[in-house]
Amino acid sequence: MSFRIELLVAKHVSGAADVLVNAYALPPWNENWSLEAAAENVTYVLQTPRSVALVAVDEGKVLGIALGIRQRRHTGPVIYLDELSVQPDAQGKGIGTALLSAMFETAKAEGCSSVWLISQRGGALSEFYQRSGFAMRSDLGIYSRSSG
Protein backbone atom coordinates (compact mmCIF):
# COMPACT_ATOMS: atom_id res chain seq x y z
CA MET A 1 0.00 0.00 0.00
CA SER A 2 1.33 3.46 -0.85
CA PHE A 3 1.29 6.06 1.88
CA ARG A 4 3.38 8.98 3.07
CA ILE A 5 4.07 10.09 6.60
CA GLU A 6 3.68 13.83 7.18
CA LEU A 7 3.18 16.22 10.06
CA LEU A 8 -0.46 16.29 11.14
CA VAL A 9 -1.89 19.80 10.61
CA ALA A 10 -5.36 21.37 10.83
CA LYS A 11 -6.52 20.07 7.42
CA HIS A 12 -6.05 16.49 8.69
CA VAL A 13 -8.21 16.83 11.82
CA SER A 14 -11.47 15.42 10.44
CA GLY A 15 -9.68 12.54 8.70
CA ALA A 16 -7.73 11.81 11.88
CA ALA A 17 -10.97 11.86 13.89
CA ASP A 18 -12.51 9.37 11.48
CA VAL A 19 -9.53 7.05 12.01
CA LEU A 20 -9.99 7.27 15.80
CA VAL A 21 -13.73 6.57 15.66
CA ASN A 22 -13.31 3.52 13.43
CA ALA A 23 -10.15 2.07 14.98
CA TYR A 24 -11.55 2.16 18.54
CA ALA A 25 -15.01 0.84 17.61
CA LEU A 26 -13.43 -2.61 17.17
CA PRO A 27 -12.08 -5.14 19.70
CA PRO A 28 -10.20 -5.05 21.97
CA TRP A 29 -11.50 -1.53 22.71
CA ASN A 30 -15.16 -1.46 21.57
CA GLU A 31 -15.30 2.26 22.29
CA ASN A 32 -18.12 4.49 21.13
CA TRP A 33 -16.37 7.69 20.04
CA SER A 34 -18.41 10.42 18.38
CA LEU A 35 -16.70 12.21 15.50
CA GLU A 36 -16.95 15.42 17.46
CA ALA A 37 -15.19 14.00 20.53
CA ALA A 38 -12.50 12.43 18.37
CA ALA A 39 -11.89 15.71 16.51
CA GLU A 40 -11.64 17.50 19.85
CA ASN A 41 -9.10 14.97 21.07
CA VAL A 42 -6.90 15.52 18.00
CA THR A 43 -7.33 19.30 18.24
CA TYR A 44 -6.29 19.28 21.91
CA VAL A 45 -3.05 17.57 20.95
CA LEU A 46 -2.40 20.04 18.12
CA GLN A 47 -2.99 22.90 20.55
CA THR A 48 -0.64 21.46 23.14
CA PRO A 49 2.75 23.12 23.11
CA ARG A 50 5.49 20.59 22.35
CA SER A 51 3.13 18.04 20.86
CA VAL A 52 4.31 15.95 17.95
CA ALA A 53 1.64 14.69 15.59
CA LEU A 54 2.10 12.55 12.49
CA VAL A 55 -0.28 11.23 9.83
CA ALA A 56 -0.01 8.51 7.23
CA VAL A 57 -1.79 9.73 4.11
CA ASP A 58 -2.56 8.36 0.67
CA GLU A 59 -3.79 10.88 -1.92
CA GLY A 60 -4.98 13.19 0.84
CA LYS A 61 -6.84 10.48 2.76
CA VAL A 62 -5.74 10.02 6.36
CA LEU A 63 -4.99 6.33 6.95
CA GLY A 64 -3.30 6.51 10.33
CA ILE A 65 -2.17 8.86 13.09
CA ALA A 66 0.47 9.02 15.82
CA LEU A 67 0.07 11.68 18.51
CA GLY A 68 2.76 12.36 21.06
CA ILE A 69 3.87 14.88 23.65
CA ARG A 70 7.44 15.94 24.32
CA GLN A 71 8.37 15.63 27.99
CA ARG A 72 11.44 16.24 30.11
CA ARG A 73 12.68 13.49 32.42
CA HIS A 74 15.78 13.21 34.57
CA THR A 75 17.25 11.09 31.77
CA GLY A 76 16.67 13.90 29.27
CA PRO A 77 13.87 14.67 26.83
CA VAL A 78 11.45 11.86 25.93
CA ILE A 79 8.27 11.52 23.88
CA TYR A 80 5.07 10.09 25.35
CA LEU A 81 3.10 8.47 22.53
CA ASP A 82 -0.48 9.17 23.47
CA GLU A 83 -2.18 7.78 20.39
CA LEU A 84 -1.46 5.41 17.53
CA SER A 85 -4.27 4.25 15.28
CA VAL A 86 -4.87 3.11 11.74
CA GLN A 87 -8.10 3.02 9.71
CA PRO A 88 -9.37 -0.59 10.01
CA ASP A 89 -9.44 -1.28 6.27
CA ALA A 90 -5.81 -0.13 6.04
CA GLN A 91 -4.54 -2.18 9.01
CA GLY A 92 -2.05 -5.01 8.65
CA LYS A 93 -0.17 -3.25 5.83
CA GLY A 94 2.70 -1.75 7.78
CA ILE A 95 1.23 1.71 8.45
CA GLY A 96 1.21 1.35 12.25
CA THR A 97 4.79 0.10 12.25
CA ALA A 98 5.86 2.96 9.95
CA LEU A 99 4.18 5.59 12.17
CA LEU A 100 5.77 4.09 15.28
CA SER A 101 9.14 4.09 13.59
CA ALA A 102 8.70 7.69 12.36
CA MET A 103 7.85 8.80 15.91
CA PHE A 104 10.93 7.02 17.23
CA GLU A 105 13.17 8.56 14.54
CA THR A 106 11.72 12.01 15.33
CA ALA A 107 12.54 11.45 18.99
CA LYS A 108 16.05 10.23 18.20
CA ALA A 109 16.74 13.17 15.88
CA GLU A 110 15.75 15.55 18.70
CA GLY A 111 18.08 13.82 21.14
CA CYS A 112 15.30 12.12 23.14
CA SER A 113 16.39 9.17 25.23
CA SER A 114 13.16 7.21 24.70
CA VAL A 115 9.58 6.98 23.47
CA TRP A 116 7.07 5.52 25.93
CA LEU A 117 3.40 4.57 25.79
CA ILE A 118 0.62 2.77 27.65
CA SER A 119 -1.09 -0.23 26.11
CA GLN A 120 -2.41 -3.69 26.84
CA ARG A 121 -0.11 -6.02 28.74
CA GLY A 122 -0.72 -8.99 26.42
CA GLY A 123 -2.14 -10.05 23.11
CA ALA A 124 -1.58 -8.82 19.56
CA LEU A 125 -0.99 -5.21 20.58
CA SER A 126 1.72 -6.12 23.05
CA GLU A 127 3.41 -8.26 20.42
CA PHE A 128 3.09 -5.44 17.89
CA TYR A 129 4.96 -3.01 20.16
CA GLN A 130 7.55 -5.55 21.22
CA ARG A 131 8.25 -6.38 17.56
CA SER A 132 9.09 -2.71 17.08
CA GLY A 133 11.58 -2.81 19.94
CA PHE A 134 9.40 -1.57 22.81
CA ALA A 135 10.01 -3.42 26.07
CA MET A 136 7.21 -3.78 28.64
CA ARG A 137 7.84 -2.53 32.19
CA SER A 138 6.87 -5.09 34.77
CA ASP A 139 7.04 -2.78 37.79
CA LEU A 140 4.50 -0.07 36.93
CA GLY A 141 0.69 0.10 36.77
CA ILE A 142 -1.81 2.69 35.60
CA TYR A 143 -3.82 4.50 38.30
CA SER A 144 -6.98 6.50 37.73
CA ARG A 145 -9.72 7.93 39.98
CA SER A 146 -13.13 8.46 38.47
CA SER A 147 -15.36 11.31 39.55
CA GLY A 148 -18.62 9.53 38.75
Ligand X SMILES: CC(C)(COP(=O)(O)OP(=O)(O)OC[C@H]1O[C@@H](n2cnc3c(N)ncnc32)[C@H](O)[C@@H]1OP(=O)(O)O)[C@@H](O)C(=O)NCCC(=O)NCCS
Contact present, 117 and 134 (Cβ < 8 Å): yes
For residue 80, state whether it binds ligand X (rule: CB under 6 A): no
Please state the closest distance from residue 53 (CB atom) to ligand X, in A.
15
DSSP-derived secondary structure letter, 36: H
SS3 content of the chain, % helix, strand, coil (to 5): 35, 25, 35
Question: Interacting stretch for ligand X, rule CB under 6 A, among 30-38, 103-111, 121-129, 140-148?
Answer: 121-129
Question: Interacting stretch for ligand X, rule CB under 6 A, among 45-53, 94-102, 103-111, 133-141?
Answer: 94-102
Alpha-carbon distance values, 68 to 19, 59, 128, 146 (Å) = 16, 24, 18, 24
Please state the closest distance from residue 111 (CB atom) to ligand X, in A.
25
Based on CB atoms, which residue is closest to ligand X, 46 or 102?
102
First to last CA, the chain: 44
Please state the closest distance from residue 74 (CB atom) to ligand X, in A.
25
Alpha-carbon distance values, 60 to 6, 8, 89, 135 (Å) = 11, 12, 16, 34
| Per-residue interface string for the shown chain with ligand X, residues 5-44, x marking contact by CB under 6 A | ------------------xx--------------------
- Note the residues at the interface with ligand X (CB under 6 A): 23-24, 84-86, 91-97, 119, 124-125, 127-128
